[in-house]
Amino acid sequence: MTCLQFDNVDLSYNDNVVFRQLNLRVNSGEIICIETGVLDGGSSLLKLAAGLCEPDAGNIIIEGLSLKDMTEQARFKATCMAFEAGGLLSIFTNYNNIAFPMLYHTRMSEKEIANHIEPLAEALAMSELLALEPHQLNDVQTRMMNLLRAMVFRPKLVLLDEVQSGMSHEMRENMLNVLLREQQQHQYAVVMTVTAGDRTDFADRVLAIHNHQLEEVQ
Amino acid sequence: MLSSIGLRSRRYGSVLVGIIGLLGLALNTCPQLLKPQRRRIFWLLFKRQLYNSGLRAASINTIIAILLGVFVMSKAYSVIPNNMQFIDYYAQFFNIVVIREIGPLISGIILIARSASAVTAEVGQMQLYRQFDALSAVNMSPALVFLLPVFFAFPLSLLLMFFYFNLICVFTSYAVIELYHEGGITLMAFIRALLQQLTFTEVVVSMTKALVGGCLIGLASLFFGYNVQDRFTDVSRAISNSNTFQLFAFFVLNVGLSYLVYL
């Protein structure tokens, strides 16, 4: 079953064309890595899929439903984006940045939410960072906190923006192990943007942005 | 000069339109509170806002109320003779000066200086660093997370601050009476005299000042914070503009209501 579908999507910022007639299909449970360079539209692609920016033309469909017609509840269940930078609200602690959206969208009790967050935080070696505030995290920790949030939510589609950047070898291996284990268990699709030096060998497909479109990397 | 006045009026007009828009949005978002999930997150954020804007202002409120209570009653002694039979006049003087006018005004100024600036800075910084994107990324409504807690907590905070301020002023004024007066006025007699002076209209006007004023101050904070653009100086400018507008609007509301009802 198709999880994410881009149909002839155009996107431009003022006169700067980012995508023209872009098409993409991601199947349920599939992992896709997208190689990106500087300002070539990697983050914009993920933001389009998360519904954070509107395409100039074309349609974006998640599990058969047009993204623009979804309620906020349906979007929460459909997709979650982990930002490369920021992505956390500075007025909440890191823990509440993950727990509050779950309180908002689900009927889970605070204890059940804690039971979701804590084991994953421990697996990612981030338990001690949960009580801190976003400004106390460095860039890598911020990306990891974004990743943790996306994994805790367990949507149908997880969008990860350059999550491997800046990580040590051990940290990256552990992060990918946890991500792949969770992805296998809950069968969500993953679209991850990657840069030079990042691992892509775990992906089902590797794509690259070229001439405002996506091309398969051999 | 005329063009400057015109420009300022137009700017204030557009702020008022924006605030009315936020009021509409707040009322429109209220039905979401019927859902238990929305209600529990709202309740957490509402309590946080009420604690920050209402309860944490208690110390500064107390200090100012003590100083004002001492000042007002000392002034009362300079115009009203020191005698038990004038207790009604002390109470009337206190009622007109503190309960009707200065109490609400000082409480409003404290709310603007402490909490409204903080909310404008908070929202302005979030706007500057694109943190509302983060809220959109988790599909949470900014209206429910930021607007409603302020919309409900600010009027309630101001109402609590009025009450608290007046209460402290009553006790401090009585302490001054106790210190200077030789005629043996008891605290109960002073409170009884105050309550006899207090009319239903005064209670309604004070509550209106708190509820409308608090709502206006809260919505203005959010409006100016949300209109921060890309420059860092936009945040300080938003706080400055927000405070100026809030002080002006709150003074107009206070003086206007007092003029309409009491004069």
Q: Taking CA A26 as the corner, what is the angle to CA A190 and CA A74, rounded to the nearest 5 degrees? A: 70
Residue B83 pLDDT > 70: no
Confidence tier at A41 by pLDDT (50, 70, 90): confident
For residues B58-78, average pLDDT: 86
Residue A178 pLDDT > 90: yes
What pLDDT, on the 0 to 100 scale, is given for residue B115? 93
Specify the residue for token string 């009585």.
Answer: B174
Q: How far is A204 from chain B (nearest CA, A)?
A: 26
Residue of higher predicted confidence among A40 and A6: A6
Residue B182 pLDDT > 80: no
Sign for the CA dihedral angle at B69, B71, B77, B80 comes to negative
For residues A20-43, average pLDDT: 89
Edge-to-edge strand ranges of the sheet holding A79-82: A79-82, A157-161, A189-194, A31-35, A205-210, A213-216
What pLDDT, on the 0 to 100 scale, is given for residue B157? 94
DSSP state of A69: G
For residues B186-196, average pLDDT: 85
Q: Whole-prediction pTM value?
A: 0.84
Residue A127 pLDDT > 90: yes
Question: What's the Cα-to-Cα distance from B150 to each of B159, B214, B250, rounded to whole Å?
Answer: 14, 9, 17
CA distance A178 to A144: 12
CA distance B71 to B93: 12
**Are B41 and A100 inside 8 Å of each other by CB?**
yes
Residue B180 pLDDT > 90: no
Residue A91 pLDDT > 90: no
Residue A175 pLDDT > 90: yes
Specify the residue for token string 């994410």.
Answer: A4
**Are A72 and B141 inside 8 Å of each other by CB?**
yes
What is the Cα Rg of chain B in Å? 21
Percentage of chain A exceeding pLDDT 90: 62
Q: Contacts of residue B140 in chain A, CB cutoff 8 Å?
A: 72, 100-101, 104-105
Residue A95 pLDDT > 90: yes
To probe the interface with B, which of A91, A96, A145 has the most B CB atoms within 10 Å? A91
Average pLDDT, chain A: 91
Edge-to-edge strand ranges of the sheet holding A2-13: A16-27, A2-13, A57-62, A65-66
To probe the interface with A, which of B32, B129, B139 has the most A CB atoms within 10 Å? B139
**Are A104 and B38 inside 8 Å of each other by CB?**
yes
The complex scores an ipTM of 0.81
SS3 content of chain A, % helix, strand, coil (to 5): 40, 30, 35
CB A165 within 8 A of CB A38: no
Residues B187, B191, B192, B193: what is their CA dihedral angle, to the nearest 10 degrees?
A: 100
Q: How far is A77 from chain B (nearest CA, A)?
A: 10
